[in-house]
Amino acid sequence: MSVVTTACNLLDPAARMSLAAAAPERLQHRPEGATYLDLRGLPLEPLPDIDEERIAELCRVVRGLIFAAVDGAQSGHPGGSSSKTEQLVTLLASGALAFDAWQPKRAGRDRVVWSAGHCSPLSHALGAVVYESLRRKGVKLAGTDAEVVVYPEDLARFRKWGGPSGHVESTYALADTSTGSSGHGFSAALGFALLHRSCGLPTKAFAIAGDAETEEGMSYEARNMAARLGLGNLVVTLDYNTFGIDGSIFEAMPAPYLSHWLSHGWNVIEADGHAIRELAYAYRLAVAGFGAERPTVVVCHTIKGLGYGKLEGTGDSHGTPLAHDDYVAAMRALGFAIPGVKGEAAADLAVVVDGLSRADSDYLADRLAVAAAKIPAEPALESRMAATLAGRTLKDYRALRRPAQLPAELVFEEGSLVPTRRATEAWFAWAMRQTAFFYVGAGDLAKSVLTSKAEQVWGLVGPDNPLGRGVRFGIAEQNMAMMSCAMSQDTLPGGHRPMTAFATYGVFTPMMANPVRMTLINSAVNPAAKAFFIMVAAHDGPETGEDGPTHHGLFWMSLFTAYPGIKVMKPLDANEAIEMLFHAAELGEPVVFSVVRPGVPVLKRGNGIPPAREAINGAYVLKPFRASGKPKLVLAVCGGQVMANLLEILPELEERHDVKIIAVTSPQLFEELRKTDPKKADAILSADERPHVVALHNGWRGFLYPFLLPADHAERSFGMDDFLRSGSPKEIYRAAGFDPDGLREKFRKMDR
């Protein structure tokens, strides 16, 4: 075997063929269509540009910074950070990663996702060594580039207010989305890989992961889809130390571990995760690929918490700082003669930085220059995108402005019965022709939630149609959300911002809450990466009556109205839906968009009823007071069928009351209107009118609480408070007391 591997290195395809013949257990072409390669212990030739001694010294310094930062904070995750150190330093120096340390957010860079987002001690320590090395060269970043930089002295405030963050955030260099929920990064990296390949870009997406993340169901969904789509530009570097937080990963998942990747058809490379030469080969091979377009995982066999004293090789090293005396001993074993005064992290960090020799920092700076040179000039990338996407409109969602005259396909006949899902179907298909950077998909529900029409404009994305814009996610809502959300965070060459729409039933949207939450956090901490996506909550309300309580979308809004940075929109009819979709694109803020399955009346406008465009205010006056002198009654109504049933009994109500009807389409938008245009908001609902409000919603009653006085929440708010049973929509409305007779009875009781 030594003759084979020293005659020519494995970066030469002929060498791989020789290895396959001499040691078939080392190199296998799997029946799933991918390649397996075991580099462990092979006598590989040294790579001329990889100085293993200098990289090892850089790793020593990075570990010292990790341990000092964690001790100073008495908080953090040293175990996985230490076991991944060789992986990350070698990746950065290997020439496999396209990254410009001088302009860390260049559009043409490879994308890096810390799926193991808890390894922020490593992320920050790596960044500190990078920018200390450049600082010694006289490099000082300016403007927004300087905002992503961490220096060694900054680590003294790790996990403290204003200091480096406790989990990885996309504001920093070498991080392209904010992470912290284990397993989510696979899907995020998958989103970046698909986005860039579908625009004809040469970019790679790298996910930095731990082995325990494979337990997460979303990671299964991502592994499955990445292989199905043939994403050869996706690389996972995986820390295989066999420990989660609680103990061995095999307490929670079956062995053998590689089956979780090989069975999906991924290329798998095994390497010693602390052997720099093997890692450098592995990353270069992963980037080069093995012929067929397949994603690659580099399974790095490591020791968790390597060098971390008594906790080395244990699950406890995951998030447990050493006792201070043990920390001092571990640091001195690494060769750092730190003062070791408890609470004085700055002094320890200074000793570690002094241990970074000028020769080592110069070597790193040189390797960073190689990494930067891998990125093509942005005009060249723009030209490449234009050629790849010839015939498409190279504008993003920010150009989607409502035409003065709406196209015929976006106008629905007044008085007709139209499901609001027909409006999203029409708008998505229209928008797909207006921008090359719009992606639409559903969780095996395209025929029901009506995304197919938009999906077919450019076809379904896949190995045979890499430029498609329709995505079939399958029954994999978590991956659908995280992948779509990640795509919408990115900025492509030329400044283009992608937009995504992904759809499922309203009752299933809570399964996607955490990916959405992580994306909203990313938008908050890094406004430059603010995402715009539309999550369609289809078949909302009790309109799916026959399906029974498992499919009645009654309570999901309680979750998404609590998150900052996203709005729930619930148009009453199809024309309002069109207006609100245009408004959402103009705002560029994520929305959960509620649509229903059966036809609901398209309101006849005019004769005092405002145009559908007024729906973008979140509420509007559908019917004003008549000044009849009777007791005032203000009805805040959400839901097209509720409004239709209410209008049926309106003449009876007006016999006893002077009635004002407020159509509610988004309480959050109305609350915003109260801040931006209080005069207009007051005309819709004044403070004097609020005591007279009765709220009606065909779902969670709390959705309309913003229109009521707090004391009136219980007595003057009507919603659907219980799980219902199977029945036709008409029967369901009757059982819930929201048919005309039920509404009559509610008002009779209030009048007593």
pLDDT, tens digit, 9 for 90 and up, residues 86-141: 999 999 999 999 999 999 999 999 999 999 999 999 999 999 999 999 999 999 99
* CATH 3.40.50.920-classified regions of the chain: 618-751
Q: How far is the first Cα of the chain from the last one, in angstroms, to the nearest whole number?
A: 93
| pLDDT, tens only, 174-224 | 999 999 999 999 999 999 999 999 999 999 999 999 999 999 999 999 999
CATH node for 397-594: 3.40.50.970
| pLDDT, tens only, 371-420 | 999 999 999 999 999 999 999 999 999 999 999 999 999 999 999 999 99
Decide if 661 contacts 621 (C-beta within 8 A): yes
How far CA 107 is from CA of 496, 497, 531, in Å, comes to: 10, 11, 16
Q: Taking all residues of the chain, what is their mean pLDDT, rounded to a whole number?
A: 95
* CATH 3.40.50.970-classified regions of the chain: 53-378, 397-594
| pLDDT, tens only, 6-25 | 435 888 888 887 888 888 88
| pLDDT at residue 41 greater than cutoff 90 | yes
Q: In whole angstroms, what is the distance from residue 147 CA to residue 171 CA?
A: 8
**pLDDT computed for residue 7 by the predictor:** 39
Q: Is the pTM of this model over 0.75?
A: yes
Query: Residue 652 CB: number of other CB atoms within 10 A?
Result: 14
State the residue for tokens 């408890």.
342
Specify the 3-state DSSP secondary structure of 193: helix
| pLDDT at residue 2 greater than cutoff 80 | no
**pLDDT computed for residue 17 by the predictor:** 79
Burial zone of 734 (CB within 10 Å; 0-12 exposed, 13-18 middle, 19+ buried): middle
**pLDDT computed for residue 14 by the predictor:** 84
**pLDDT computed for residue 147 by the predictor:** 87
Query: What tokens were used for 143?
Result: 């403007």
For domain 618-751, give its CATH number from 2.60.40.10, 3.40.718.10, 3.40.50.920, 3.40.50.720: 3.40.50.920
Alpha helix (H) ranges present in 638-739? 640-656, 667-676, 678-684, 729-735
Query: Residue 49 CB: number of other CB atoms within 10 A?
Result: 12
Query: Residue 251 CB: number of other CB atoms within 10 A?
Result: 11
Q: In whole angstroms, what is the distance from residue 184 CA to residue 217 CA?
A: 10
State the residue for tokens 């929920």.
181
Tell me the CATH architecture of domain 53-378: 3-Layer(aba) Sandwich (3.40)
Confidence of residue 158 (pLDDT cuts 50, 70, 90): very high
Confidence of residue 263 (pLDDT cuts 50, 70, 90): very high
Q: In whole angstroms, what is the distance from residue 137 CA to residue 369 CA?
A: 12
Percentage of the chain beyond pLDDT 70 is 99
Higher pLDDT, 427 or 25: 427
**pLDDT computed for residue 224 by the predictor:** 95
Query: How open is the CA angle 349-238-64, to the nearest 5 degrees?
Result: 10
**pLDDT computed for residue 111 by the predictor:** 98
Q: Which of 128, 122, 54 is nearest to 93 (CA)?
A: 54
**pLDDT computed for residue 8 by the predictor:** 52
Decide if 185 contacts 209 (C-beta within 8 A): yes
Torsion of CA 231, 234, 237, 240, to 10 degrees: -30
| pLDDT, tens only, 608-620 | 899 999 999 999 9
Confidence of residue 5 (pLDDT cuts 50, 70, 90): low
| pLDDT at residue 3 greater than cutoff 70 | no
| pLDDT, tens only, 650-692 | 999 999 999 999 999 999 999 999 999 999 999 999 999 999 9
